[in-house]
Structure 1
């Protein structure tokens, strides 16, 4: 017999794996002119995520990411601590995180 605590843990892991989320982001630092958007788009594609990325007039990069919770979590980590090879990330802010029933954006693109 499997203990209830273990069953709950397994059920939570399965539910989290199937959970779809959407999150907005803004990345601060030296993130323009260093191929940050291109690397963000490529990394989003590699994780199978949907979304978009765009430079702002304030020198930041903004965007939105949608997909499975665990993959979006991986992307959030990448945005706040990895970025493009020549970038310097001072901080990343995530907002409007919400559950979604289906992906609302198809593909990952750079907006201008």
Structure 2
């Protein structure tokens, strides 16, 4: 049995700051039963770590490509990662 868990790091670019993107992301993730975090980056992008079922992660990535009203997403880059510990909730960390 593995003691590492698969998750996805996501970097969302475009007009994604100042439009409620982090709160929207947290709410969507919680609806899908995902855990992790979301935060603004200094370069104007938004980064997130998403952990949960493959189906829920796929759905979340599709939702991130659209974003909330007022956002204009130009790129969503994903990278699978292994975690030693799965987050217990979904937080806005910055």
TM over 0.5: yes
Q: In angstroms, what is the RMSD of aligned CA positions? A: 1.6
Q: Deviations over 1:85-104 (max 9, x none)?
A: 11000010001x1466x861
TM-score (norm 1): 0.75
Q: What's the counterpart of residue 16 of structure 1?
A: none
Q: What's the counterpart of residue 38 of structure 1?
A: 23
Match of 1:65 among 41, 50, 53: 50
Distance 1:48 1:103, change over 3 A: farther
Q: What's the counterpart of residue 78 of structure 2?
A: 94
Report runs of 4+ in structure 1 exceeding 2 Å deviation: none
Contact 1:67–1:103, Cα closer than 8 Å, also in 2: no
CA drift of 1:36 comes to 0.3
Q: Which runs of 5+ in 1 are unaligned?
A: 1-19
Q: 2 CA distance for matches of 1:68 and 1:57? A: 30
TM-score (norm 2): 0.88
Figure out how many residues of one structure are paired with residues of the other and give that number: 90
Q: Which runs of 5+ in 2 are unaligned?
A: none
Q: Which has the larger radius of gyration?
A: 1
Greater length-normalized contact order (CA 8 Å, ≥ 6 residues apart): 2
